[in-house]
Structure 1
Amino acid sequence: MVARSEPDPGTAGGSTRGIITVAAVGGLLFGYDTGVISGALLFIEQDFTLTPLLSGVVVSSILVGAMVGALSSGSLSDRFGRRPLLIAAALLFAIGSVAAAAAPSAALLVAARVVLGLAVGMASTLVPVYISEMAAAGRRGRLVAVNQLMITIGIVLAYAANYAFADVGGWRAMFLVALLPAAVLGVGMVFLPETPRFLIRTGRTEEARAVLARLRGGAGVEAEIAEIAGARGETGGAGLRGLLRPWVRPALVAGIGLQILGQASGVNTVIYYAPTIFRETGLEASGAILATVGIGAVNVVGTLVGMNVVDRWGRTRLLTAGAAVMAVSLAVLAVALGIGGPAAPALAFGAVVLYVVAVATSLNVVVFIIPTELYPLSVRGSAMSVTLFANWGMNFLVALTFLSLLEALGGAATFWAYAAVCAALALFAARVIPETKGRTLEQIEADLRAAGTPTHRP
């Protein structure tokens, strides 16, 4: 293994931060377009006279597009690059936002949200890969987590837009706000470089050298090129068929299992249906939306905390502890919904705050970091596609069935079930997901190939 030094933050940090911030606007759009429906739905239901099932379709339609966008974008990015696909995602974000704002019927609103879903699925797959392949090993966890920070900021902006337009029932304006960040992402990506790992994999070493010199400030560039090129030379069988190789399967089990259990834990029910949950405890619509804005702010703060500890504590330890707290907080929420009475709103709000803190500091920070680190270069895009397809598929099932479960089982039983899944996630993290902190992507791949497991546990 070729030794190389970390970049000098004083020379390279500004360039890296600028590139990653622009790319992570895709995360902001991801958060905004998935979160905005939580408040908009209260008024869409009135305008279009929706049943609980049709409300679920409006909410979950974005996830159908996300599944398609996630599944297709990874393999395309392995062929054409990460950057062109992110530019295409920005265009779809813009088209979908305008179409949703102008939709004259529920059917056309569903279609517009499918388009937005295509963009969300592409962003969820490509932004973490883009950032991971740009970042140095020692700061990779924190930098990839910038994507999650931007997602949470996008959610808060969505909640703020919900509240700003709530008095006039302006759900169309809520959707249209996303047009501005879509323009920022599209124009910004035109001026950003392709990732050095993709460039080296496609034989464009001189371009990769220039990008790495910009990112690292000249420190250890040749050693990093040699390491990336060495991993490229060892890897065979790219594309989806490469995922079938025995030495890759443990990484897929860890990556896909994390997505399925993470979504099945009910994480997005709070994002999509927080106002609905609070109304179950007796709050009015405007009060429910305002409470949700507070939840979004807690989400941002929790993400900042998680970003600052993930490279010190490690991915697995952080996730295990966070999932355990998630289980406890959802159990408390189930109790609050079960007992009712004047104390129920405060108890439910406290439980949701604790849950969001646990999710934001752990699951949401590592959910994109872990797979981008585990998967080998030749199949990274394709593996992320399959992984995020699993994520959005489970997300779709949860979003589509939540209101029906709430109606059929009641809030208490529904959240007891989600609490049980959180406990299972904690066990899965402790037993199955390996630790990857502080290691280069090429070192992780070498361990994966040599040992038949994604990497060693410290």
Structure 2
Amino acid sequence: MRSESADSGERLTNEMNVTDILGSPEEEYSNFVYVVAAIAALNGLLFGFDIGIISGALLYIKQSFALSTFLQEVVVSGVLVGAMLGAAVGGGLADRFGRRRLTIAGAAVFFAGSIGMGLSPNVTWLVGFRFVVGIAVGVASIVGPLHISETAPPSIRGSLGFLQQLAITLGILLAYLVSYAFAPTFAGIPGWRWMLAFGAVPAAVLGIGMYFLPESPRWLVEKGRDDEARDVLSRIRADADIEEEMDEINEVSEIESEGNLADLLEPWLRPALLVGIGLAVFQQISGINTIIYYAPTILKNIGFGNVASIVGTVGVGIVNVLLTVVAILLVDRIGRRPLLLVGVGGMTVMLGILGLGFYLPSLSGIVGYVTLGSMILYVAFYAVSLGPVFWLMISEIYPLRIRGTAEGVASVFNWGANLLVALTFLSLIQRIGEALSFWILGVCCLAAFVFIYFRVPETKGRSLEEIESTLRESTFVGSDGDSGTTEYEPDVRE
């Protein structure tokens, strides 16, 4: 960066304080880009709060409504069915109406659904409002990463993209703390009602914050609103020459027609489609939400009380947040692939140990500590790998014209796999026991490691337009210098 006055020199110093943490950029940008990313990432806070709050609330909901194991799974899964719908339509809506307006609409739906859950008179109404909230969660899981990736400079896109995952982990931790604060009753009202209704607070913060943010410049270009896009880029790129970036965006936009779902099956897009769907499914069948949804239930089953189970889960949430911060510091330095491989390898080992803790009778006296320790380390490895990298990569690897739609497809598979796990995990434990259940999840992690090693490219430091160019050239290549490359060669049969 260059400074021509004392004022610009002071600005340079302030920006460097931030970039010392998030990486060393090659281009200029203002601190406003961090404001945009931070507020857009609050989509993840809604996402995380909802999947986290049910773990603590479920302990008391099942007492209020005398829920069977199956109905507990239905209560948990109601939001996932809604999320599948939200993800299915959210991508297309984001491409049609814009990232900003859709985020505001999603926040309003989440606000109303949270209040409805807290007031639910019976389990039917509760599941119904969880479905409504799920629609907002599905939309949030798409539009947050999308908005961030399309406004962030390439050199810090990974770090800013991980803010979404950091917000998810903060939302989960907030949910655990809210669960602890309101358990078991508050002001004479069952605590689970306060827990679920509290979701209206972060929803209001997101809606108000997003109202004051600009639209994605790349979406504006796609809609022919170049002057508005140029104005947005001038706000987030400081004194940098934005015309080169505008030319690059326009060059890609001009060779594209309006995208649709069928375009994802074109031969040149199939490698990206495979990566997105593969990571989506593996993120869930690796077992993370068995921990997020059912950690208090698991801990209670091995001897912890209700409140003690929630306190133990808070420790899991704190580790999730801290290791996500570590991932933010590393992603633009060492890349996406190394984080994925190390993290998934560690998850595989921890699930093996977790199953062993339930399997060996000699450990029965300390199984609670073995279980809690393995859960914490498992979450730590997840937090630096599959957790954030999946959401980051599906916001990077697809062309502009179908980016929202493609993210929607990946998210539908993600929520579908999430639903499968949530609906079957407690029943699976009842049928085959904890040890075999966790070992099955470990095998899924091992399969994820193989998939990542052979199929997932590196996208570190490359612009979204450069990534699209490699797709068009049938060489979906990821490289971070000395670490090597991963290539997708065209299929000669096509």
Taking structure 2 as the reference length, the TM-score comes to 0.90
User: Contact 2:467 / 2:476 at 8 angstroms: preserved in 1?
Assistant: no
Question: Secondary structure, in 3 states, of the residue corresponding to 2:180?
Answer: helix
Find the aligned partners of 1:246 and 1:347 in 2 and give their Cα distance.
Answer: 48
Q: Structure 1: where are the runs of 5+ without partners?
A: 1-6
The one-letter code of the counterpart of 1:367 is: F
Distance 2:207 2:342 in 1: 38
The whole-number CA distance in structure 1 between the counterparts of 2:273 and 2:50 is 28
1:130 equivalent in structure 2: 147
Give the match's secondary structure for 2:388.
helix
- Asked if the contact 2:44–2:144 (Cα under 8 Å) also holds between the matched residues in 1, the reply is yes
Aligned to 1:95: 112
The 3-state SS of whatever aligns with 2:60 is helix
Tell me which amino acid in the other structure corresponds to 1:345.
Answer: G
CA distance in structure 2 between the aligned counterparts of 1:249 and 1:110, rounded to whole angstroms: 36
TM-superposed CA distance for 1:409, in Å, is 1.0
- 1:299-334 C-alpha deviation (Å, 9 max, x unpaired): 000100011101111111110110010000011000
Unaligned runs of 5+ in 2: 1-10, 17-27, 486-494
| 2: CA distance, partners of 1:139 / 1:120 | 26
Give the aligned partner of residue 434 of structure 1.
457
Which range moves more in the overlay, 61-70 or 226-235? 226-235
Which range is displaced more, 237-246 or 399-408? Answer: 237-246
Which residue identity is paired with 1:97? Answer: S
C-alpha separation between the residues in 2 aligned to 1:373 and 1:225? 18
Contact 1:250 1:452 in 2 (8 A): no
Cα offsets for 1:409-450 (capped at 9, x unmatched)? 111010000011111111111110111000000000001101
**Structure 2 residue corresponding to 1:161, chosen from 178, 181, 185:** 178
- What is the match of residue 25 of structure 1? 42
Contact (CA 8 Å) 1:212, 1:218: kept in 2 or not?
Answer: no
Match of 1:145 in 2: 162
* CA drift at 1:280: 2.5
- CA deviations on 1:25-73 (whole Å, 9 max, x unpaired) are 1111110011100010000000001000000000011000000000101
Matched, 1:206 2:252: no
Residue correspondence of structure 1 range 313-352 to structure 2 within 5 A: 313-339=334-360, 340-352=363-375
Instruction: Identify the match of residue 308 of structure 1 among 313, 317, 329.
Output: 329
Sequence identity of aligned pairs in percent? Answer: 46
TM-score of the superposition, structure 1-length normalised? 0.96
Q: Which residue of 1 aligns with 2:20?
A: none
Task: Confirm whether residue 215 of structure 1 aligns to residue 215 of structure 2.
Answer: no
For residue 184 of structure 1, the aligned residue among 198, 202, 205 is 205
Contact 1:338 1:412 in 2 (8 A): yes
Instruction: Please tell me whether the aligned partners of residues 39 and 206 of structure 2 are also in contact (alpha carbons under 8 angstroms).
Output: yes
User: Structure 1 residues 265 and 387 mapped into 2: Cα distance closer, same or farther (>3 Å)?
Assistant: same
Residue pair 2:30, 2:235 contacting (<8 A) in 1 also? no
Cα 1:13/1:364, change in 2 over 3 Å: farther
Q: How many Å separate the matches in 2 of 1:173 and 1:162?
A: 9
Alpha-carbon shift at residue 241 of structure 1 (Å): 2.0
Q: Give the C-alpha shift of residue 341 in structure 1.
A: 1.4
| 1:78 pairs with 2:99 | no
Which residue does the alignment assign to 2:252?
231
Q: Distance in 2 between matches of 1:127 and 1:176?
A: 22
Contact 1:374 1:454 in 2 (8 A): no
Q: Residue 410 of structure 1 aligns to which amino acid in structure 2?
A: G
Superposed displacement of residue 227, structure 1: 0.6
1: CA distance, partners of 2:196 / 2:477: 41
2:401 is paired with a residue whose SS is: helix
What do residues 353-399 of structure 1 show as CA deviations (whole Å, max 9, x unaligned)? 11010000111120111111111111100000000000000000000
CA-atom RMSD in angstroms: 1.4
- Specify the alignment match of 2:270 in structure 1: 249
Deviates more, 1:240-249 or 1:407-416: 240-249
Q: Distance in 2 between matches of 1:372 and 1:142?
A: 13
* Structure (1 or 2) with the greater helix fraction: 1
Q: In terms of mean alpha carbon deviation, does 176-185 or 199-208 score higher? A: 176-185
Q: Among residues 388, 393, 404, which one is paired with 1:381 in the alignment?
A: 404
Larger Rg: 2
Deviates more, 1:218-227 or 1:134-143: 218-227
Counterpart of 1:3 in structure 2 is none
Q: Deviations over 1:109-156 (max 9, x none)?
A: 000100110000000011000000010000000001001001100000
Letter in 2 for 1:123: A
Asked if 1:175 is matched to 2:196, the reply is: yes
Q: CA deviation at 1:454?
A: 5.8
Q: Secondary structure at the match of 1:248?
A: helix
Any idea what the Cα deviations from partners look like across 1:253-309, whole Å, max 9, x if unmatched? Answer: 011100101111111111000001112322111111100011100000010001110
3-state secondary structure, aligned to 1:379 = helix
Among 420, 430, 440, the residue aligned to 1:417:
440
In 1, distance between residues paired with 2:436 and 2:150? 43
CA contact (8 A) 2:53 2:196 kept: yes
Deviations 1:74-121 (A, max 9, x none): 011111111111011000110110000000000000001001100000
- Establish whether residue 114 from structure 1 lines up as the match of residue 140 from structure 2: no
